[in-house]
Structure 1
Amino acid sequence: MITKFFASGGALDKAIPGFQARQPQIDMANAVADAIKHESQLVVEAGTGTGKTFAYVIPALLSGKKTIISTGSKNLQEQLFHRDLPLMADAIGFTGRVALLKGRSNYLCIDRLNRQVLESHDVESDPTLLTQLVKIRQWSSSSKSGDFGECDDVAEDSPVIPLITSTNDNCLGRECPSYDECFVVKARRKAMEADVVVVNHHLFLADLAIKETGFGELIPEAEVFIFDEAHQMPDIASQYFGQSLTSRQLVELAKDIDIGYRTEARDMRQLQKTADRLQQAAFEMRIILGDPGFRGNWREASQTPAVQRELTRLSDALDLTYDVLKLALGRSQLLDTAFERAATLKAKLKRMADTSITGYSYWYECTPRQFSLNITPLTVADKFKDQMAEQKGAWIFTSATLAVDENFTHFSHRLGLEPKKQFSLESPFDYNQQALLCVPRHLPEPNSYGLANKLVALLSPVIEANNGRCFFLCTSHQMVRELAEGFREKLNLPVLAQGETTKQKLLNEYLAHGNALLVATGAFWEGIDVRGQALSCVIIDKLPFTAPDDPLLKARIEDCRMRGGDPFAEVQIPDAVITLKQGVGRLIRDTKDKGALIICDNRLVTRHYGAVFLRSLPPIPRTRSVEGVSDFLSTINNITVIEDDNQHSEA
């Protein structure tokens, strides 16, 4: 049944230019159809190029069952909804309804926009803020979705967005004067009525964990749950099955109280005073927690006298906020909602202060302006398993990186899965001809002094010979900074570094230059799709083991030990293998791509566990010679030039 749609001369072949039937894709489509039919669990590792999107979407559309498809990112979510789904629906004649649903922070809140416009007329307000708000209000009058992804007048990272979107904490719900026009309500209504709903993991798991009003009613109605980029699920699930208290929650509460005072309760000056005190207490806590970009052990930190003093100050500020807001009850819906939030945050802070409850990891994280206090369960397997049992239906998990040494235990165990079937699909790429892997000789030890300078000296000739067109993926922000500085002194090529602008702008700059080196960390290890010779060299600074002092890793190690396991073999190595596979996957994205991969870590060949990493990677020919890499790149670049010349002469 399914096979005929994928076969040569079938519906997809006729409707989609350049479509080619691939046996691995057909195998996956049949397995997905079988899982849907029998309401079972399925885990599929589908390497880049196998066409996994078609392989799960076609059976879902043909099943006639309500389906939720969850992706790893908003970009993939939008690509699936706007490009892939319409293409496949047309090809097979699917006439059902499809909806896109994002988290509420992606949608304009009309009530908060109106309040901000009113507030921005104040003498002390920034005039550029009012200009932006007016532009957004003009856009909102013609927008059907209210989705900022469709608004060209506001940047994705604009500071105005948090001011005019709602959170689960501050939404007024049915009491909101703009409820009937609410874009979030409209989006959820569409999702309720749709046959296929495209969400992302953060939204899906937030809903699963808290049964948020509106969307919480959506999931029980679904019969098929499909997760693309499923390797991200365990870590995201850990966030949502735990608890967190952030300075942003406290500051936003303070700002709303101040707006309530300015617009609806000007006779209650104490509202402004308590808002200022709460904001100051949040700021003082951020300062006392130390350097930005740091994850620390909250259980230990909360016992220090300095942090305990700030905890008391923050608790007192929240108590005062609660008491003052209680006096303002009935004056304004905004202040009534703020009172409920203050009560919730008081309870959260009390829970954060009690680190004696076992079975959880207690940790904190700082950015330059924010902090978050977090309680994360050591394992989410039982909770996720319970949710699957409650929802029933088919549960399908797929990604290019799920297996470690051809074994799925690491992934399945973390989510409590008991798949009826799990397998890997062979990639259509000819890695033997398309790629070369180098682990250079005479490498310094990872983390050794002056490592960045040595890597700059060793690899500059390769990068220059390739005329840039290279990603250097690092395991820390510190290494990004040191390498960027070193390469800028050494190379006559554009050197771009993550952190100097947004991810999308950085990628656009890289492509525009055509001869750049991009030095980056986390965000560029996955979800980046650069095809052709624009990216023909990927360098990785070392095996991506999570820092041993990371509190989440410590928690999982503790859990593994409690079960009598070997944390290094069962937690640390599998995590690093999955991350490495993601980084390696940036290189070959198409059957015509060619390129070199350099991993600057001797442990791949000197330690016994190096074999696990190598066996988990695609079958790429290997060398220890950096000069051999330069020769390989020179050869493929010459071939590309000849092919381009031939195409021009034919044209």
Structure 2
Amino acid sequence: MNKTKSVSQAFSSTGPLAKAINGFNPRQAQLDMSLEVEQVIADKETLLVEAGTGTGKTFAYLVPAFLSEQKTIVSTGTKTLQEQLFHKDLPLVKKALGSKLKIALLKGRSNYLCTYRLEENFSSQPHKRRQAGVQLDAAALADLVKVRQWSSHTQSGDLGELTDVAEDSAIFAQVTSTTDNCLGRQCPDYETCYLVKARERAIEADVLVVNHHLFFADLALKDTGFGELIPSAQTIIFDEAHQIPDIATEYFGQSFSSRQLLDLASDCMQQYRTELTDVKQLSKAAEKLQRSAADFRLLFGQNPERGDWRQRLRMTTFKQGFNHVVDDLKFLYEVLKLCVSRTETIDNCFERATQLLNLCDLMQQVDKPGTSLWYETTRRHITLHLTPLSVADKFSEVVSKSDSAWVFTSATLAVDGQFEHFSKQLGLANAKSMLLDSPFDYADQSLLLVPRYLPDAQAHNRAQALVDIAMPLIEASEGRCFMLFTSYRMLNQVAQILTEAIENPLLVQGQMAKRVLLDHFIDQPDSVLLATASFWEGVDVRGNNLTCVIIDKLPFASPDDPLLQAKSADVKSQGKDPFAQIQLPQAVIALKQGVGRLIRDIDDRGVMAICDARLVNRHYGQVFLNSLPDMQRTRELKRAITFLEAINR
């Protein structure tokens, strides 16, 4: 039994947390949240909590979860928070409360080494490796050596342990499985599979840490062949819950990518070279599919983009390109049909070809109501998506049927003090809600600058104007500055000018991995970091390492975004205003995330510059301002410079 019986006792000044954690100070907001979570767990209700930075929300939900002694799933938005929860916060709370509950960490399958694919693609027997035909450049070969050495002694198979291999290394795709190519129980390595072991630990655990993508993959039954995790949980807690509507939408839809086609073709080629050398047609069909899939990607621009697939499908070039892919996939399907039962892998390839043909049919249903049909490209691949415009009905059904307690928390859930935007998207109309302010003294610690005389967002001299504002701020803060952008185009223009204009080390997103970029920023105290969307949230730089954040403009989604266009048309057809219902609330949440990078601790101080006059000269600007922390405000650049200089004295 737990020694500690209640939340109030746990958080008291003489309680177990105070004894276990140096410098622990009970906070009223933290206790209020924890008591509410305790009640919701007991009553199996749903709760929405916006808890400002510094509230201590992690302990506020972990303590009642442990005290309830029920099976709990904690889902996070980022791997970083997932790791922090499992390796730091959970053990601390468990020890402080004297709990005997089992804890486990489960990541998505792409995080675990697949020993079968490692051996198939890079056999220790050279003749077999040559037959497999996997081509690697020098960097990937060096990474392979590291993976091989590590694979001989790892206990968990979690590739996150390989800190000296870049996160985007080409080797990972070759040594991990996907839902497509995993052989499941037919795999010869099934008994020793790291993913299977991790899932077994997850099923046995009392408190399980996952991430949102994994949670919804499981919920949407995308990952067949393994038991479901979700129904067994009595309490489900989402941290960084503001991400849930977008992720839920993604998983309740369907998608189909050129990478799946190329992976299938590659696996078929490998089978031809190693096991089915008598089936010449297999090699021919796989090569044809490889060519048509690559040609299909080349029909789109080189730079990553998103667009309306319905529109493209009406154009002859794209229609023909897609038909070539479908025809070549059908040819491969017919060849595979003749090879069924010869090897486990070929049976798996046949199943994948069948599923991909079904997806091809779906991606041509241009008249399907209540959905958006859109595409997105990366430098190498294209993905087609069929996405529901609303997941409210589906998700609310999941919640109401579950007989579980559901807690959604984040520093950014409310818009202008209201939860309606969030609750409507997920169909959580009956949820309880609470809004907890940050304990930080923003009026003393920070200053919000909205500079005067800025040219319009589209003006040709916009980048130079941003640099003219940034330079005196960078000088006054002695570097230690983030510049956050809403587009790569503006980031690159400003980076080009700043390179010549300042002597501070300039760190630009894309030059190196995010984690490495942040390490450099902290190691070089006078540096300036330029970044886009991925740095707007989940980045925690404390103390004097960061004293100035400059945001180029309000983060409204691009009006060309196909999913936004489809949702807007749907809202308009209901006689409502898409700007007020969708674009404005989304932008407010995104801006709150960006602003949240500045003050991370009770002693932090700094200037937040938002270079967008719409904050003060458009009627909706007030909605943004009402949603931000209560900072001092100014339009005078000089005052911001003075504020920064005072920090550095």
Q: Does the aligned pair in 2 maintain the 1:247–1:372 contact within 8 Å?
A: yes
Give 1:559 deviation, angstroms. Answer: 2.6
Q: How does 1:15-94 map to 2 (within 5 A)?
A: 15-94=20-99
Residue 120 of structure 1 aligns with an amino acid whose one-letter code is R
Cα distance between partner residues in 1 of 2:225 and 2:57: 31
Residue 423 of structure 1 aligns with an amino acid whose one-letter code is M
Give 1:248 deviation, angstroms. Answer: 1.0
Say yes or no: does 1:277 pair with 2:288.
Answer: yes
Q: Does the aligned pair in 2 maintain the 1:188–1:214 contact within 8 Å?
A: no
Aligned to 2:152, the other structure's residue is in SS state: helix
State the match for 1:136 in structure 2.
Answer: 147
1:7 paired residue among 5, 12, 19: 12
Cα distance between partner residues in 1 of 2:68 and 2:495: 51
Q: How does 1:516-531 map to 2 (within 5 A)?
A: 516-531=527-542
Residue 318 of structure 1 aligns with an amino acid whose one-letter code is L
Cα distance between partner residues in 2 of 1:215 and 1:225: 20
Cα distance between partner residues in 2 of 1:594 and 1:141: 48
1:306 paired residue among 290, 309, 317: 317
Aligned to 1:102, the other structure's residue is in SS state: coil
Q: How does 1:576-587 map to 2 (within 5 A)?
A: 576-587=587-598
Q: How does 1:327-406 map to 2 (within 5 A)?
A: 327-406=338-417
State the match for 1:318 in structure 2.
Answer: 329
Equivalent pairs counted in the alignment come to 638
Aligned to 2:515, the other structure's residue is in SS state: helix
Cα distance between partner residues in 1 of 2:398 and 2:160: 31
State the match for 1:213 in structure 2.
Answer: 224
Cα distance between partner residues in 2 of 1:498 and 1:135: 26
State the match for 1:643 in structure 2.
Answer: none
Q: Does the aligned pair in 2 maintain the 1:208–1:216 contact within 8 Å?
A: no
Residue 451 of structure 2 aligns with an amino acid whose one-letter code is P
Aligned to 2:220, the other structure's residue is in SS state: helix
Aligned to 2:429, the other structure's residue is in SS state: coil
Cα distance between partner residues in 1 of 2:24 and 2:226: 36
Q: How does 1:219-618 map to 2 (within 5 A)?
A: 219-618=230-629
Comparing 198-207 with 129-138, greater Cα deviation is found at: 129-138
Aligned in 2, Cα 1:124/1:178: closer, same or farther, shift over 3 Å?
Answer: closer
Comparing 129-138 with 436-445, greater Cα deviation is found at: 129-138
Give 1:167 deviation, angstroms. Answer: 0.9
Aligned in 2, Cα 1:561/1:178: closer, same or farther, shift over 3 Å?
Answer: same
Residue 468 of structure 2 aligns with an amino acid whose one-letter code is A
Identity of aligned residues (%): 52
Aligned in 2, Cα 1:192/1:634: closer, same or farther, shift over 3 Å?
Answer: same
Q: Does the aligned pair in 2 maintain the 1:45–1:399 contact within 8 Å?
A: yes
Question: For each residue in 1:10-47, what CA deviation from the matched residue of structure 2 results, as whole angstroms up to 9, or x when unmatched?
Answer: 11000111111000000000000000000000000001
Q: Does the aligned pair in 1 maintain the 2:473–2:548 contact within 8 Å?
A: no
Question: For each residue in 1:373-405, what CA deviation from the matched residue of structure 2 results, as whole angstroms up to 9, or x when unmatched?
Answer: 111100011111111122221000000000000
Q: Does the aligned pair in 1 maintain the 2:542–2:600 contact within 8 Å?
A: yes
Residue 299 of structure 1 aligns with an amino acid whose one-letter code is R
Cα distance between partner residues in 2 of 1:313 and 1:443: 50
Aligned in 2, Cα 1:120/1:130: closer, same or farther, shift over 3 Å?
Answer: farther
Give 1:418 deviation, angstroms. Answer: 3.0
Q: Does the aligned pair in 1 maintain the 2:166–2:513 contact within 8 Å?
A: no
Q: Does the aligned pair in 1 maintain the 2:376–2:382 contact within 8 Å?
A: yes
> What TM-score does the superposition give when structure 1 sets the normalisation length?
0.96
Give 1:89 deviation, angstroms. Answer: 0.3
Q: How does 1:54-203 map to 2 (within 5 A)?
A: 54-118=59-123, 120-122=129-131, 125-126=135-136, 128=138, 132-152=143-163, 154-203=165-214
Cα distance between partner residues in 2 of 1:305 and 1:139: 50
Aligned to 1:210, the other structure's residue is in SS state: coil
1:621 paired residue among 626, 632, 637: 632
Give 1:121 deviation, angstroms. Answer: 3.7
Give 1:153 deviation, angstroms. Answer: 5.4
Question: For each residue in 1:333-384, what CA deviation from the matched residue of structure 2 results, as whole angstroms up to 9, or x when unmatched?
Answer: 1111001000100110111012111110111111111111111100011111
Q: Does the aligned pair in 2 maintain the 1:117–1:130 contact within 8 Å?
A: no
Aligned to 1:144, the other structure's residue is in SS state: coil
Cα distance between partner residues in 2 of 1:91 and 1:547: 47
Aligned in 2, Cα 1:240/1:127: closer, same or farther, shift over 3 Å?
Answer: closer
Q: Does the aligned pair in 2 maintain the 1:113–1:133 contact within 8 Å?
A: no
Give 1:280 deviation, angstroms. Answer: 1.1
Aligned to 1:608, the other structure's residue is in SS state: coil
Question: For each residue in 1:465-521, what CA deviation from the matched residue of structure 2 results, as whole angstroms up to 9, or x when unmatched?
Answer: 211110000000111101111111111111111112211111111112111111110
Residue 267 of structure 2 aligns with an amino acid whose one-letter code is D
Comparing 113-122 with 47-56, greater Cα deviation is found at: 113-122
Aligned to 1:55, the other structure's residue is in SS state: helix
Question: For each residue in 1:122-172, what CA deviation from the matched residue of structure 2 results, as whole angstroms up to 9, or x when unmatched?
Answer: 588448555644542332232221110113453322111111111111110
Residue 37 of structure 1 aligns with an amino acid whose one-letter code is A
Cα distance between partner residues in 2 of 1:317 and 1:61: 54
Ranges in structure 2 where 5+ consecutive residues have no aligned partner: 1-5
Give 1:210 deviation, angstroms. Answer: 1.9
State the match for 2:3 in structure 1.
Answer: none
Aligned to 1:401, the other structure's residue is in SS state: coil
Q: Does the aligned pair in 1 maintain the 2:103–2:205 contact within 8 Å?
A: yes
Residue 95 of structure 1 aligns with an amino acid whose one-letter code is K
Aligned in 2, Cα 1:497/1:133: closer, same or farther, shift over 3 Å?
Answer: closer
Aligned to 2:256, the other structure's residue is in SS state: strand
Comparing 30-39 with 419-428, greater Cα deviation is found at: 419-428
Question: For each residue in 1:251-303, what CA deviation from the matched residue of structure 2 results, as whole angstroms up to 9, or x when unmatched?
Answer: 11111111111221122222222221111111111111224221111000111
Residue 181 of structure 2 aligns with an amino acid whose one-letter code is N
Aligned to 2:122, the other structure's residue is in SS state: helix
Cα distance between partner residues in 2 of 1:381 and 1:208: 15
Residue 610 of structure 2 aligns with an amino acid whose one-letter code is I
Ranges in structure 1 where 5+ consecutive residues have no aligned partner: 639-651
Cα distance between partner residues in 2 of 1:460 and 1:95: 55
Aligned to 2:375, the other structure's residue is in SS state: strand
Q: Does the aligned pair in 1 maintain the 2:13–2:25 contact within 8 Å?
A: yes
Comparing 15-24 with 113-122, greater Cα deviation is found at: 113-122
Q: Does the aligned pair in 1 maintain the 2:121–2:134 contact within 8 Å?
A: no
> What TM-score does the superposition give when structure 2 sets the normalisation length?
0.96
Cα distance between partner residues in 1 of 2:270 and 2:63: 50
Cα distance between partner residues in 1 of 2:339 and 2:385: 31
Aligned to 1:442, the other structure's residue is in SS state: coil
Aligned in 2, Cα 1:124/1:584: closer, same or farther, shift over 3 Å?
Answer: closer
Tell me how large the CA RMSD over aligned residues is: 1.4
Q: Does the aligned pair in 2 maintain the 1:286–1:370 contact within 8 Å?
A: yes
Cα distance between partner residues in 2 of 1:161 and 1:107: 9
Comparing 463-472 with 120-129, greater Cα deviation is found at: 120-129
Q: Does the aligned pair in 2 maintain the 1:40–1:419 contact within 8 Å?
A: no
Residue 467 of structure 2 aligns with an amino acid whose one-letter code is V
Cα distance between partner residues in 1 of 2:265 and 2:115: 20
Cα distance between partner residues in 2 of 1:236 and 1:76: 17
Q: Does the aligned pair in 1 maintain the 2:446–2:607 contact within 8 Å?
A: yes
Cα distance between partner residues in 1 of 2:273 and 2:427: 51
Aligned in 2, Cα 1:152/1:591: closer, same or farther, shift over 3 Å?
Answer: closer
Cα distance between partner residues in 2 of 1:264 and 1:134: 26
Comparing 26-35 with 414-423, greater Cα deviation is found at: 414-423
